[in-house]
Amino acid sequence: MGLSVRVFGLHPVSVLLPQALAGVGAVWLLCAAVRRWFGAGAGLLAGAALAVTPVAALMFRFNNPDALLVLLLVAGGYCVVRAVEKPGFGWLMLAGVAVGFGFLTKMMQAFLVLPAFGLVYLVAAPVGVGRRIAHLGGALGALVVAGGWWVAVVELVPAGSRPYIGGSQTDSVLELALGYNGLGRLTGDEVGSVGGGAGWGQPGWTRLFDDEMGSEIAWLLPAALLALAGGLWLTRRAPRTDLTRAGLLLWGGWLVVTGVVFSQMDGIIHSYYAVALAPAVAALVGIGAVVAWRRRTEPAVVGVLAAGIAVTAVEASLLLAREGEWLPWLRPLVLFGGLVVAALAVLLPVLPAAFGRGVGVCALVVTLMAPAAYSVATAAVPHSGALPSVGPADATAMRPGGGRGGGGGFGGLLGAPTPTAEVAGVLAAGAEEYRWAAAVVGSNNAAGYQLGARVPVLAVGGFNGTDPAPTLDEFQRLVAERRVHWFIAGTLLPADSGSDASWEISAWVEANYDSTTVDGVTLYDLSR
């Protein structure tokens, strides 16, 4: 994204184009990965399912690292598929590199796919166990190098010669990776967090289906779980190297591990994190549908297929019921149509071939119709801020994430305020005489003022306003050196932990400088 902005300039297209390309790449790679073991039909269905998943439609057109993370993890999955086909260090090490780059993208979240990647190779690769373990060791080494070089560089550079490591309290990238962006997400013990407790929702086994995350990912999730369970049962006596079971272990392991972690974690979690589940859900839907279709003469198999269609229709109906008057005709159509198609699917063993193919087409339409419509509605809504959410305009405006504005839930810190022309003019006047035209608590606040006024703005306290950067002494020195012109007042959220530097700076400014209000924004002139 940085390269895109440098080449094409700062513009919404240059910012969002890399996310869209990452989404296209993820769909293509998922299609290619599933196709290799299950055929073109399964690959196309998996790719289509990913493309119409609402959270994917959201994040593949939003300024956020999740699109790149999904691309890298799907690339890792593709490399594992190739490694199982042709055992050796090459493809497996490429998988490690992809996950390592995923770590650089979003830190320890990338590691949630590792159990599935390691398990499928250890179980299904057609070589001896010693070679399998050795190959996995090589892949782990590649991961460490690909993901660790930047950490090593940052740790080796003296703190005074590099920017402060935001999200840490000790200016340490290891603290950030292992704490705030690592184990702290699981335990809830995140130094510097401003949400805490109920702010991140209630952990539990139904979290992926609840009001906040359900509309993001749950549309095809029941069908994916049915496909996983049914597929593993069908392949329970298959040879160790059976590729059908290997595919189920790969994508099913991805889904189960990531889903369990997201469901039970006590720390910071946002609904759009569910995009990390979308490739696994889509792959299992594609695999399950094709495997069931190929064995549609078996009553038990078509029973699972019919159950998958029915449960998808019911889940879609439940999710659509949350949207009030949005497309009121869609809910009964999906529910009634899905149940009818499910009933017909039970008869597949005795239906004429042509009629059976018609049932199959209807099944695809009725299962993908609701998430596709919801994705279109999501794409029609502009999203900004830090917490985007899916759905039509009326729905996203009412959710805690704040779909259009994105700043709901935690006040100003997670929004990106756009200054009025008068405020922007005040900040820009004489800005060339200062290193920073203004300072404000929180990086999202700073970004909004900087983009709106086109002047540099200092983010006090980092992302949450809880980093000790700058400290009060450092800020006082900047003011004394006439490097900051204005201080913009705002709401300070009570932090569960972390530095009080932002509070101290705000209190010092209020006690020592006179304020002026411009279009509702309180400004302190630090040059006087």
Task: Please state, in angstroms and rounded to a whole number, the distance separating the CA atoms of residues 486 and 523.
Answer: 6
Token code pair at residue 252: 């099913």
Asked, for residue 184, whether it belongs to a domain, the answer is yes
**56 in Cβ contact with 280 (< 8 Å):** no
The pLDDT, as a whole number, for residue 413 is 59
Q: What confidence tier does 305 reach under pLDDT thresholds 50, 70, 90?
A: very high
Name the domain boundary from 279, 294, 309: 294
Higher-pLDDT residue of 286 and 418 is 286
The predicted pLDDT at position 1 comes to 74
Q: Identify the burial level of 291 via C-beta atoms within 10 angstroms of its C-beta, where 0-12 means exposed, 13-18 middle and 19 or more buried.
A: buried
pLDDT value, residue 395? 59
Instruction: Decide if 334 is inside a domain.
Output: no
Each residue's pLDDT tens digit, 511-522: 999 999 999 999
Which pLDDT score is estimated for 259? Answer: 97
CA distance 370 to 335: 10
pLDDT at 199: 61
Both tokens assigned to 287:
């695999």
Both tokens of 160, joined, read 């005074």
Average pLDDT over residues 176-184: 87
**How many structural domains compose the chain?**
2
Helices and strands in the chain: count of H runs, count of E runs: 22, 5
Q: Is residue 335 part of a domain?
A: no
pLDDT at 396: 55
Q: What is the pLDDT of residues 19-57, one digit of tens each?
A: 999 999 999 999 999 999 999 999 999 999 999 999 999
Q: Do 259 and 123 reside in the same domain of the chain?
A: yes
25 lies in some domain: yes
| CA–CA distances in Å: residue 357 to residues 302, 360, 393 | 14, 5, 37
- For helices 243-264 and 114-124, the axis angle rounded to 10 degrees is 160
Chain centroid to CA 138: 28
- Of 294, 311, 330, which closes a domain? 294
Q: Are strands 515-518 and 436-441 parallel, antiparallel or unpaired?
A: unpaired
Among the listed residues 369, 348, 368, the one whose alpha carbon sits nearest the alpha carbon of residue 357? 348
- Structure confidence by residue, pLDDT tens digits, 246-292: 999 999 999 999 999 999 998 889 999 999 999 999 999 999 999 99
Rounded CA-CA distance 147/144 in Å is: 5
Q: What is the pLDDT of residue 12?
A: 84
Specify whether 57 is located in the same domain as 206.
Answer: yes
The CA-based angle 61-3-77, given to 5 degrees, is: 60
Average pLDDT of span 55-71: 95
pLDDT of residue 496: 58
pLDDT(494) > 70: no
pLDDT > 60? residue 412: no
Give the model's confidence band at 401: pLDDT under 50 very low, under 70 low, under 90 confident, else very high.
very low
pLDDT of residue 410: 37
- The pLDDT value recorded for residue 405 is 38
Q: Is the pLDDT higher at 171 or at 231?
A: 231
173: pLDDT strictly greater than 60: yes
More confident residue, 493 or 376: 376
Cα torsion angle, 125, 129, 130, 134, sign: positive
Nearest C-alpha neighbor of 190 from the set 168, 173, 174 = 168
Write the DSSP string, 29-87. HHHHHHHHHH-HHHHHHHHHHHHT-HHHHHHTTSSSTHHHHHHHHHHHHHHHHHHHHS-
Q: What is the pLDDT of residues 331-363, one digit of tens each?
A: 999 999 999 999 999 999 999 999 999 999 999
Give the other-Cβ count within 10 Å of 419's Cβ: 23
Confidence class for position 195, pLDDT limits 50, 70, 90? low
Domain final residue, candidates 294, 316, 334: 294
Q: What is the mean pLDDT of residues 408-429?
A: 75
Going by pLDDT thresholds of 50, 70 and 90, the confidence category of residue 202 is confident
Integer angstrom CA distances of residue 198 from 188, 266, 493? 11, 9, 15
pLDDT cut 90: percent of the chain above it? 75
In this predicted structure, what is the pLDDT of residue 274?
97
143 vs 400, more confident: 143
pLDDT at position 386 is 78
- Domain presence at residue 396: no
On whether residue 339 sits in a domain, the answer given is: no
Rounded CA-CA distance 412/27 in Å is: 35
222 within some domain = yes
User: Do 71 and 26 contact (CB within 8 A), yes or no?
Assistant: yes
Q: In angstroms, how far apart are the furthest CA atoms of the chain?
A: 88
- Which range of 90-99, 319-328, 411-420 scores highest in mean pLDDT? It is 90-99
Instruction: Judge whether 287 lies within some domain.
Output: yes
pTM of the model: 0.92
**What is the rounded average pLDDT of the residues 5-23?**
89
**How far, in Å, are 46, 52, 57, 416 from residue 383 at the CA level?**
26, 18, 12, 11
Residue 390's pLDDT band (boundaries 50, 70, 90)? Answer: very high
Residue-number span of the structural domain to which 490 is assigned: 411-525
pLDDT digits (tens, 9 = 90+) for 103-146: 999 999 999 999 999 999 999 999 999 999 999 999 999 999 99
What pLDDT was estimated at residue 404?
40
Phi, psi of 141 (to 5 degrees): -60, -40
